[in-house]
Structures are given as structure tokens and as C-alpha cells.
Structure 1
């Protein structure tokens, strides 16, 4: 099992570095692309809603949103029905980045899994989902 953990750690480190490099070409940091993907599907979510969808904590999303706001990717607005709530909305810059970021992620996924058969890709996805479920 120790070898498996070492492999996970090494793969994670390499994949994170490659993802960060691919995303930085579009002015986005690794992790921010995941927030963007959720907001591209449904804009105007509260940080707690984003956190629940991504399996993260609300403070993590708040910190990420602060950096994204500084980068011009999102704006915060009070909820018109409940002034206690803040919602995150995409900027035009973030909307323009959608197609290039999705393309970059597809290219990276294809590169990372190029040596795998289709069956191996399915098994890898299934195994990773089980690991995530176990640790969540």
C-alpha cells in the first residue's frame, strides 16, 4: 500500500503542476478552474453552495473567490432577497475564458491518459470515485 500512496502523491504533484501551467495561460490558478466550471453551469451561487458542489469547505471557497475577484474573474453581489447572502457572478473575462479553459483541460486529460486503453480509463475513473467516496 505504501507504494500506492507514493504513486498517488507523485501523480498528484505532477498533475497539479501541469494543470497550473495550463490554467495560468488563461489567467486562472489551479483550483479556480473548478469554481469557474460550476459557475459556468449556474452563475450566481453563494460560497456555501459552491463548496457543497465541489466537496470543499466554505472558507476555502471564500478565499478562492477573493483571489478570483482580484484577478477580475468574479464579482460579489448581495442577494436581493436576503442581504446576508453574498453571491458570486462571473465577469465577462471569466465567460470569455470558458472555451479556452475547457479546451486546455481536455488536452491535458488526453495527454495524461494517452497511454491508457478506454477500459483502463473507465477503471481509473471508477477507482478514483471510490477513493474519493471513502475519504469524504
Structure 2
């Protein structure tokens, strides 16, 4: 394994563990914070609409929505005009999670970039954006 891939893998594991620990303090799992972020801005999307915005498959979103509904973060309701559609709506708990989850994400980002200069942060953001675009281009199974 190349040194860069090894470093990416080890960093990903540590970042995921830190994020999961921070999110779990607010009843949210890793990945669910991304779903919440979209619904905080656009409540009432269908699982397919939400999946498209997040770059995941609809079945993945349906499964995630089921877990989030069980956790009390959102509810599923039939569309009033097209009963074939299901829409996802935040519960009070899901809405109330916004400020603490956003603050936890800010603290994590601050921690992981604390030793970087502003220029290094810009370069890191640019490099990760390019890597993500390259890996997700043309994939039938998008990366989240």
C-alpha cells in the first residue's frame, strides 16, 4: 500500500471515530448529520430527492431514513397530492439538533486543521475536492 493511501486510510478512521463520538452526544450517527443538514434547509424531500443531493442510492437513503425515524429525528409522511410519494420531515428533535450538531462539526474541523496555516487549509480543501470529484465521476454507486 502506498504511503499516501495508508495515511488517507488511517486519517479517515480517526476522523470517522471522532465525528461519530461527537455526533452521538446529540443522538445522531455519522452520515445522518449530512441528511439533517439537507433537511434543515429543505424539509419535506422524498428519499429519492435527498439521495440525489447526497450522492447516495435511494435504497441507502430509505434505510437511513428508517434508522433516523426510529431515533426520533424525522418522520415519513405520504405526499398530500401524490399518495405514491413519501416525504421526510424533521421532528422537533431533528430541528433542535441543528445548533449542537453544527457546533460539534465546527469543533472537529477546528481541531483537525489546528496546526495548518490558512493557505494549507485552502490547499487541503482544494485537493480533497479534486480527489472526491475524481473518485465519484461516473460511478454508479456514489460515495458519501
Question: What TM bracket, shorter-length normalisation?
Answer: over 0.9
1:1-136 equivalent positions in 2, closer than 5 A: 2-136=2-136
Specify the SS of the correspondent of 2:89. Answer: strand
TM-score, structure 1 normalization: 0.97
- Which ranges of structure 2 fall in alignment gaps of 5 or more residues? 137-144
When normalised by structure 2's length, the TM-score is: 0.92
**Residues 4-50 of structure 1: CA distance to partner in whole angstroms, max 9, x if unpaired?**
11111111100000000000000011110000000001100111111
Deviation for aligned residue 1:57: 1.1
Matched residues in 2 for 1:118 and 1:57: separation? 35
CA distance in 2, matches of 1:40, 1:101: 11
Hey, what's the Cα distance between the residues in 2 that align with 1:28 and 1:4?
A: 31
Residue 123 of structure 1, CA deviation = 0.7
Residue 80 of structure 1: how far off its partner (Å):
1.3
CA RMSD of aligned residues (A): 0.9
4+ residue stretches of structure 1 with deviation over 3 A? Answer: none
- SS state at 2:75 partner: strand
Instruction: Report how far residue 56 of structure 1 moved.
Output: 1.0
How many equivalent residue pairs?
A: 136
Supply the distance in 2 between the matched residues of 1:58 and 1:121 (Cα, whole angstroms). 33
